[in-house]
Amino acid sequence: MDVREDTVAANYAETLFVLAGRHEGVDAFGAGVGSVATLMENPSVHEFLVTPRVSAADKKAALGRALEGVVPPMLLRFLQVVVDKGRQRLLPRIAAAYRDMLERHLGRRHMEVTVARPLSPDDEEDLAEKLSSATGATVIPHVRVRPGILGGIVIREGDTVYDGSVKRQLDAMRRRLMAAELQP
């Protein structure tokens, strides 16, 4: 992952978000960006858009044929500018950054939640409600099971981790005991 390319993609996404707010709306653009990201998952489409053997004019024409009537016209023009600038390989990153901005705009936060054993649907719902109440946003938990944490819960949002696992607590207790043994 190239930090510079992520920054460039975030800048494009921010520009797109501003355009969306002025035109058809952030939701319509969000759906269109999703269509583009799905299109880019196709290896032959991806190769076509990133290869230098195909001219920018041909790439823009192909995007127009594939997306006209599917995405808002301003989004299509934005995509064509991205091609003009030679940044089409960043489209998946631009789409991901745009989706993140849209989620924040809508007051939704995605959190990765790690537990030692599977949660029931009711427990997942309760967890989402408690996290939403604590954060003041609508939290969408992405639960994964890792028996190695022994119990408790680990919550990750971006670079922030809240580790309430039994394993971490036992490790901390062991370190305190080891430190106490070393002192006279």
Q: CA-CA distances (angstroms) from residue 142 to 43, 113, 118, 120?
A: 28, 6, 12, 13
Instruction: Identify the pLDDT of residue 27.
Output: 86
Instruction: Kindly report, residue by residue over 160-181, the tens digit of the pLDDT.
Output: 999 999 999 999 999 998 888 7
Whole-number average pLDDT of the chain: 92
- Res 9: pLDDT: 93
Judged by phi (left if over 0) then psi (alpha if -120 to 50, else beta), residue 107 lies in: left
**Cα–Cα distance, 77 to 70 (Å, whole number):** 13
User: Which pLDDT belongs to residue 30?
Assistant: 86
How much is the average pLDDT of 76-89? 94
Distance CA 129, CA 116 (A): 20
Query: In this predicted structure, what is the pLDDT of residue 135?
Result: 93
Domains of the chain: 3-104 (1.10.520.20), 108-182 (no CATH)
Q: CA 100 → CA 14, 114, 127, 144, distances in Å?
A: 10, 21, 22, 21
Residue 12 backbone zone (phi > 0: left; psi -120 to 50: alpha; other: beta)? alpha
pLDDT band at 1 (very low <50, low <70, confident <90, very high): low
- Summarize pLDDT for 121-159 with one digit per residue, the tens: 999 999 999 999 999 999 999 999 999 999 999 999 988
Q: Indicate whether 182 pLDDT > 80.
A: no
**Helix, strand, coil share (%) of the chain residues, nearest 5:** 65, 15, 20
Nearest Cα to Cα of residue 75 among 41, 40, 24, 39: 24
CA distance 96 to 13: 8
